[in-house]
Amino acid sequence: MTTFSADVVGAILAHMNNDHPEDNLVIVRAFGAPDAERAEMIDLDTLGATWSAWLVPEDERTQVVIPWPAGAIETRAEIRQQIVALYDSASAALGLPPRHGVE
């Protein structure tokens, strides 16, 4: 398995956590922590991504590891595609309307 460079991972994490906190929460609620009140993407590699989820009402934290829908990936461009795919699947699972343009 190959991993992405620290600068690529850092840029993706910063973007997701700063620009898409609601999307993180949708993904985490659908794929492992339905009672989460907030979520933060904390790591990713070629196999999937890891989020930290804060649960209610106790405010305890748990990690949610989710594999990429397409399986192992190799390029930075595939990261975006897989996060969008996760978001779309999560939205459908939670009964949320579809939305395009997650960046």
For the chain, domain boundaries: 6-92
Domain 6-92 has CATH 3.20.180.10: yes
pLDDT score, position 57: 75
Radius of gyration of the chain (CA): 13
38: number of Cβ within 10 Å = 16
DSSP state at residue 71: S
pLDDT confidence tier of residue 100, bands split at 50, 70 and 90: low
Provide the token pair at 38: 């907030």
Q: What is the mean pLDDT of the segment spanning 75-96?
A: 96
Confidence (pTM): 0.91
